Structure 1
């Protein structure tokens, strides 16, 4: 593959103090939580924690940590739930944190004929919450996971307490133009081969994809690359599903939803990486404008598409502010 084409692929990211005083009860929860902090989730710990839910959609991989009200973390592409490990470390004292792997990405195992469109991902999440006996969730989402979050809100509004959205699809920008080279490679059947190169050339992974989606690509660790890439290219079926996931991003899965979102009263907070050039910076203001329950926009100055990995403390701070814990 030409280096320029690979860099274009990477640039497209393969799709990249709480205000106010707490009530006494919240203070008590916080103090109790601080005494029960888990060890940080590295790749080995995350792998050991991984569970599977047997659903009509297949075996859906997920990680769960914490207790109480549930929070649902929705990842981007080509990532999986491991994207949220830092936020889960910080938020599991306050929420039952659930991070599934989407169908076609990560470690979820699905049949060959399972559709992978955003609406199907939303239906899978509904079934997963049923299986886990979860009534309502606070959703934290990024990238294509943000598209699924918006559809989930419209299809299952009673299941959503709040939305925290970071750089993600919006109706006028889904999929964003910069991922067209990725879609072309998926259509040509070459995307999996290009991604598999990262397993043997991690320096290339950091210099291309890492540089496109992280402020400091040197922190894109070998174990992280392996955890993301290995399941995507493990078998011919998984490679085909990786391609199919991307092809399902068109036509625009969010077409026609704006009017419905304008009627939603769910609290929404937008946290946007200001250095991201894959999703338009104006998309943050768009979300702020259309959601009546918007709590405004916070810009992360150095944040690129997947800043949630580098700055998990920002996600945790904003989530706790939104949840008032």
Structure 2
């Protein structure tokens, strides 16, 4: 699915904390799946997965605050982001959802699952933060720069041109960043310095305590849980963290390892996720 096809379906839901942008494909009467992205990308990263699943599923990709079409909020913590998911689910009347998360979005999904287990039909986690690895140690210098207010200008500067975008901070999250269309880079890096400062605030707000607080709820979570993990992220999201999640969540099934895949494999290699979702959901 190309970028314009995806963004043409973007809508905005009024909510108490501010508008929430989301993009929806599929039959409104089908079971709903909610897809949650991580830092500095957007709902757009799920476009290829959604294209393949929308024939049997009501697919909804949220834009978290300060990403895509959603404005920033006063509270940019991941705990607050979990409440944004709850606002979207309630506002759209989704009932139980199949929740799917990647990167920081996976941490947000874990917090949501711990707080609102009755709102889930299932949970799927791809490479993401976990208790004890939030944020990953190699990301800590970026968090410190964000807290010092020294990250936004550099991030905004990446939007200067195609060459700099393809070599920017997101490039290392793909196996082959050269194949990412320029309009995708524009979507992720766009918004200028103000948007970059909002993302900086979210990075600065990353707090291990938010995910630790979700651990008791996850220990009691018997919702069917699928874990699909790329193996090429040993420095940040190594496979050992996938198995820690499996041991933590009673409803978790076996870990599915995606050989050689990096963090954003759901966008780059949707064929390594979609068949597992279809089998897991039974549709």
Q: Which residue of the partner structure matches residue 226 of structure 1?
A: 186
Q: Per the alignment, do residues 257 and 208 of structure 1 end up closer, same or farther by CA in structure 2, a change over 3 Å counting?
A: same
- CA shift for structure 1 position 220: 2.0
CA shift for structure 1 position 251: 4.0
Partner of residue 232, structure 2: 275
- Partner of residue 105, structure 1: 67
Q: Distance in 2 between matches of 1:49 and 1:116?
A: 25
Match of 1:144 among 92, 104, 126: 104
**1:221 and 1:195 mapped to 2: Cα distance?**
19
> Which of 209, 224, 248 does residue 290 from structure 1 map onto?
248
Tell me the TM-score normalized by structure 2.
Answer: 0.94
Structure 1 residue corresponding to 2:9, chosen from 33, 45, 49: 49
Which of 1 and 2 has higher RCO (CA within 8 Å, sep 6+)? Answer: 1
The corresponding residue for 2:198 is: 241
Query: Which of the two has higher C-alpha Rg?
Result: 1
Structure 1's unaligned 5+ residue stretches are 1-39
> In 1, Cα distance between the equivalents of 2:171 and 2:11?
31
By how many angstroms is 1:127 displaced? 1.3
Q: Note if 1:300 corresponds to 2:258.
A: yes
Distance 1:251 1:275 in 2: 24
Choose which of 154, 168, 171 in structure 1 pairs with 2:131: 171
1:116 maps to which residue?
76
Q: Work out the number of aligned pairs and report it.
A: 280
Q: Partner of 1:253: helix, strand, or coil?
A: helix
CA distance in 1, matches of 2:211, 2:273: 24
Q: Secondary structure at the match of 1:308?
A: helix
| Kept after mapping to 2: 8 A contact 1:278/1:305 | no
CA positional deviation for 1:49: 1.1
CA RMSD of aligned residues (A): 1.5
For structure 2, the 5+ residue unaligned runs are none
More divergent stretch after superposition (56-65 vs 211-220):
211-220
Residues 132-174 of structure 1, C-alpha deviations (whole Å, 9 max, x = no match): 1111100111111011101111111110111110000111111
Q: By how many angstroms is 1:210 displaced? A: 4.7
Spell out, residue by residue over 1:193-222, the C-alpha distance to the aligned partner (whole angstroms, 9 max, x if none).
212222223323323535421111111221
Contact 2:115 2:217 in 1 (8 A): no
Give yes or no for contact 1:168–1:279 (8 Å, CA) kept in 2: yes
SS state of the match for residue 19, structure 2? Answer: strand
Q: Return structure 1 stretches of 4+ with deviation > 4 angstroms.
A: none
Provide the residue aligned with 1:314 in structure 2: 272
Q: Are residues 259 and 210 of structure 1, via their aligned partners in 2, closer, same or farther at CA, if it must alter by over 3 Å?
A: closer
Q: Deviations over 1:25-55 (max 9, x none)?
A: xxxxxxxxxxxxxxx3x11112211110011
Q: Please, what TM-score do these two structures have when normalized by structure 1?
A: 0.82
- Alpha-carbon distance, 1:298 to partner: 1.1
